[in-house]
Structure 1
Amino acid sequence: MTTIITTVGTSFIGGCMRNKMDFSQTEDVLFEQMMQVDRVQAFSAEMASTHSLMKQYPNAASLHLLVSDTAEGYKIGALLQRYFETFVATVSVHVIDGLNGSAPETFRQQGLRNLVNVLLTILTEHDDCVLNATGGYKAQVAFAGIVGQVFHIPVLYQFEGFDDVIQLPTMPLRLNTALFAKFEQTFQCVASGQYVAEIPLELSEYIENINGESKLTAIGLCLYEYAKMNERGV
C-alpha cells in the first residue's frame, strides 16, 4: 500500500482569496465554505496535486502532510487533514519545528534539519512511499526533492498550469560517502549528542556548533543516514 508524503505551503490562503473567503475565520467556517466551492479538489496546489497523485496511486493507505511551524501552517494542516480523511484511511499532520520563514536563522539551523529528520522517519517506518513536493517554501521543496532522489523515492511535482503531477526524472545524486568514512567517528559523536569543539573545515557544510551544541546540518543528516543505510546493505 502506498504512502503519500505532501509538502504543504500557503496556497490554501490563495484559494480563500480567489473565492472571497476570509482565512481568519474559524476552521469550521472555512471548511464549510470550502466544501461549497466548485471543483474543490483544485482549491489549493496541495489539494490538486495530492488528488492527481491519488489517481496514479489508487491504493494509497496513508497521507503525511508536512506543514510549516506557523499559525497558518497549523490551520492549513488541520483543514487539509479534515478534507483528505474522506479519501485516505490515515492522514497525519507533521509540524516541522523551526520551519518558519520569518526567522531565517532558525529556518536554516533547525527547520531544514527537522524537515529531513521527519522525512527520513516516515521513509523508515513505511514502505512504498511517494513524495509530492509541490507545496511549501522553495528550500523546503528543494530539500524534500533531494531526500527523495538520494533515497530512491519517486518525487512528483505539479507545475502551474498542468492538470496532473509529473514524476521528476531521477538525477545521479551521490552523497560523499568517502568523506563520511574518513570522519565517521566525528559524525557518530555528533549524532550521539556529543560536542565537537573543533570541526574540520571539510565538514563545515555537514556539522555546525550552535549555542554550545554540535549538530548535523540538513545535508549532514542526509549523509549520515545514507551512509548508515549503505552499511546495513539496505
Structure 2
Amino acid sequence: MSQRVISTVGTSLLGNLHNPRVNPDGLDALALLRRDPQRASAEANAITRLAKGGDTLVFLHSDTEDGERCADHLNTYFAGQGHPVHVRRVAGLSYNEKGFVSHGLRALVRLLAEEIRTAKRAEQRPLLNATGGFKAEIAYATAVGLMFHVPVSYIHERFGDVVTLPASPVGWDYSLLSWYRDFFDWLDEEPRPTHAVHERLAALPESVALLVEDAPDGQSYLSPLGEAYLEAFRGQADTRRSLRLSASARRTLDALDFSTQSAYRQLLERLRHGGAGDWRRSAELVRGDVFKFPKGHSVHRAFVREDDAGLWVLELCGHEDERRYQELIRTIRWSHYQEDEFSALP
C-alpha cells in the first residue's frame, strides 16, 4: 500500500540558503535541494527518509510568502523525483496573532483531517510529517494524528533519524459530541456572536465550554482542539455500529434524571464506537450470548447482545438499583425479547 505523506512546511530551506555551512557555494533553493536534500531543509530531510517511490506528498504551508516559496520549491523538487505532489495554503496561519488561533490553527486541523480522509478513500496509508512550521502546528498535527490513529513523524534538520509516534491504540470517547452534536454543528457552520454562544452554553455542561474559544472579533469558535475532536468524531461515523434499545431499556433511559441519563448515553456511545466485537474486551458474558457492559466495578451497565445486524441493548441497569441488577444477572435471556420491540438509538 502506498503512503500519503502529509507535511507541515516551515522556512528552514530559506534559512539554509544563507547558511555558509550548508550552502557554501551560494546555490539557489532548487540547486541546494538537488545537491543535498537532507541538509537543505528539515522537511526534505524527513521526507527522503519516510517516502518511497510512488508515495503521494502533500505540503501544507502557512499563509505567508515565505511559507509559499518553501512549499513551491519542495513541490518542484519532489515532483521531479517522480512523486505526485499537492500544495495547500493554510488560510489564517500567519504572523497575525489575532487570527492565528481562531482561524489558522482551526484551518490546519481541517486540512489535516481532510487529507487523512482522502488517503483512506484512495486506499493509501496516511502519515503526518510534523517536522516544519510553527511550533503550534507541530503540536496540533500530533494531536490530530493521535485522534485519527495516524502515525506522526518528526525530524529536526540536524537530527540523523526520524522519530515516529505510532498510531495510538487509545479509543477516544466521543459521547460528548454525540450527545450535544446539534450545538457543535451549529457553532461549526459559521462564526457565531459570542453572546449567542454563551446563551446556549449556559444550558450545557462545562465540558462543552472547554472546547469553545471567544475571539477578539466578538465571535466564538470551536477551539483548535475542539475542531480536531469534532473532525475525528465525524470520521468515526462510518465505523459506528447500529444500536437498538428494547422498549424496557428506552423506558428506563427516559425516566432517569439528566445526570444519570447523560452517563448512560455516554456508555451507549462507547458501545457504538467499539467496533464489531471490540466492545467485548470490556464486557463480561452473563448468560447465553448476553453480556453486561462494562465489566468490573461500574455504577452504570448495559445488558447487550450482538449479531450481524448490530447491537441490541436489552436492559439498562446498574448498582444504583442493586436488587434489579442482581435479578437481571440471574434471569436475563435473549429469548424473552422480540426484535420488533427494539428501536434505533439516534
Q: Which moved more, 1:87-96 or 1:202-211?
A: 202-211
Aligned amino acid, residue 115 of structure 2: I
Structure 2 equivalent of residue 30 of structure 1: 28
User: What secondary structure, in the 3-state scheme, does the structure 1 residue paired with 2:197 have?
Assistant: coil
- Structure 2 unaligned residues grouped into runs of 5+: 241-346
Tell me if 1:119 matches 2:82.
no
Please give the alpha-carbon distance, in whole angstroms, between the structure 2 residues aligned to 1:147 and 1:106: 20
Cα RMSD, aligned residues only: 2.5
| Residues matched between the structures, number | 223
Please give the alpha-carbon distance, in whole angstroms, between the structure 1 residues aligned to 2:136 and 2:41: 19
Tell me if 1:78 matches 2:72.
yes
Point out the structure with max Rg over C-alpha: 2
Is this contact kept in 2: 1:63–1:88, CA < 8 A? no
Please give the alpha-carbon distance, in whole angstroms, between the structure 1 residues aligned to 2:64 and 2:25: 20
Structure 2 equivalent of residue 147 of structure 1: 144
Bigger RCO (CA 8 Å, 6+ sep): 1
TM-score (norm 2): 0.58
User: What secondary structure, in the 3-state scheme, does the structure 1 residue paired with 2:46 have?
Assistant: helix
Aligned-pair distance for 1:2?
1.1
Aligned amino acid, residue 97 of structure 2: P
Aligned amino acid, residue 104 of structure 1: E
Tell me if 1:12 matches 2:5.
no
- Structure 1 unaligned residues grouped into runs of 5+: 23-28
Structure 2 equivalent of residue 207 of structure 1: 212
Tell me if 1:226 matches 2:220.
no
TM-score (norm 1): 0.83
Please give the alpha-carbon distance, in whole angstroms, between the structure 1 residues aligned to 2:25 and 2:211: 44
Aligned amino acid, residue 230 of structure 1: Q
Q: Which moved more, 1:123-132 or 1:171-180?
A: 171-180
Q: How does 1:23-172 map to 2 (within 5 A)?
A: 30-31=28-29, 33-34=31-32, 37=35, 39-54=36-51, 57-60=52-55, 62-100=56-94, 102-127=95-120, 128-159=125-156, 161-170=158-167
Structure 1 equivalent of residue 338 of structure 2: none
Aligned amino acid, residue 133 of structure 1: A
Aligned-pair distance for 1:159?
4.2
Structure 2 counterpart of 1:183, from 177, 180, 187: 180
Percent of matched pairs sharing the same residue: 29
Aligned amino acid, residue 202 of structure 1: S
Aligned amino acid, residue 43 of structure 2: E
